[in-house]
């Protein structure tokens, strides 16, 4: 399979910022990150000048307003914590979790086309417990999965493009699933908070985080490369009609959309399952 070049990248560190270029959630995170970086820089300069010349920028500006000075210092502290969190996220999700990845991934991939999607259970950002494919019953659904932090952009691109194509259909849905295992599970509250703040309320039912050992899930899905985005299209009964991996590609999206339209019009993909 030929990997298409990335269409775009967003300068945010959250695993899920739902949506590609121009998405409201991504812009909010980008703005938040920029403000945090600015406040962190002000704090660093303030402490540096305090050490070198006993000059505290924040105190000099707001010293006569003690409460305001405390609030500014508190915001600087929060900004510093957010900046550290952003910088540490890739290592936290990929590097640390690599220590507990379970059984080795087979080099020869086993396709699951024509089979029922293996059971996936997790919690949506809305707080709702999700069990797939059961919760997608009666609808054609895209299931976009990322097993590594590096897969986040491709997952978002696939979800964006699919949602843009089928947003008008009530009988089509999608689920974006970040898989987080190993030591990274210890940061679950921080990860959930970051993702929830970056995701519009209307989409939070569609982002389902799964924590735990990834070995059995990788094996059940036939995942051979954790750095790729893994894309599955299932019919109303949960059968896998289309599967793909890697970066978003418009031609593959067209094939996926064709399969989805056939499934919607006939109850099943007439051409049979498709791998791309």
266/130 same-domain check: yes
46, 78: one domain: yes
124 in the same domain as 30: no
Between CA 73 and CA 50 the distance in angstroms is 14
Cα 55 from Cα 48, distance rounded (Å): 9
Q: Are residues 271 and 158 in the same domain?
A: yes
Do 138 and 251 fall within a single domain? yes
Cα–Cα distance between 29 and 197 in angstroms, integer?
8
- 210 and 88 in a common domain: no
- pLDDT average, residue stretch 223-247: 95
Q: Would residue 4 count as lying in a domain?
A: no
The verdict on 146 and 54 lying in the same domain is no
Asked if 34 and 137 sit in the same domain, the reply is: no
pLDDT (tens digit per residue) in 13-49: 334 333 334 444 556 666 777 777 777 777 777 666 6
Question: Is 112 a member of any domain?
Answer: no
Structural domain that includes position 174: 120-275
- What is the tally of structural domains in the chain? 2
Global pTM? 0.64
pLDDT, tens digit (0-9, with 9 covering 90-100), for 88-134: 655 555 544 444 444 444 457 789 999 999 999 999 999 999 999 99
The verdict on residue 138 lying in a domain is yes
């Amino acid at each position: 399979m030929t990997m298409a070049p990335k269409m775009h990248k967003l300068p945010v560190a959250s695993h899920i910022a739902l949506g590609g270029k121009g998405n409201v959630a991504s812009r909010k995170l980008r703005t938040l990150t920029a403000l945090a970086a600015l406040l962190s820089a002000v704090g660093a300069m303030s402490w540096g000048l305090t050490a070198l010349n006993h000059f505290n920028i924040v105190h000099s500006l707001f010293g006569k307003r003690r409460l305001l000075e405390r609030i500014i210092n508190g915001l600087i502290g929060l900004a510093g914590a957010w900046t550290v969190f952003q910088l540490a996220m890739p290592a936290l999700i990929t590097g640390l979790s690599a220590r507990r990845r379970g059984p080795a991934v087979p080099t020869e991939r086993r396709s699951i086309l024509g089979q029922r999607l293996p059971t996936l259970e997790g919690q949506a950002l809305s707080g709702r417990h999700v069990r797939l494919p059961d919760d997608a019953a009666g609808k054609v659904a895209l299931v976009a999965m990322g097993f590594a932090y590096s897969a986040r952009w491709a997952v978002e691109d696939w979800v964006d493009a699919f949602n843009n194509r089928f947003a008008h259909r009530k009988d089509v849905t999608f689920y974006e699933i970040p898989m987080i295992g190993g030591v990274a599970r210890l940061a679950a509250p921080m990860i959930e908070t970051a993702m929830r703040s970056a995701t519009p309320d209307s989409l939070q039912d569609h982002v389902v985080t799964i924590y735990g050992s990834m070995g059995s899930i990788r094996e059940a899905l036939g995942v051979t490369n954790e750095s790729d985005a893994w894309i599955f299209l299932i019919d109303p009964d949960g059968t896998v009609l289309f599967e793909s991996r890697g970066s978003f590609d418009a031609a593959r999206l067209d094939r996926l959309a064709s399969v989805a339209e056939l499934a919607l019009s006939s109850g099943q993909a007439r051409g049979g399952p498709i791998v791309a």
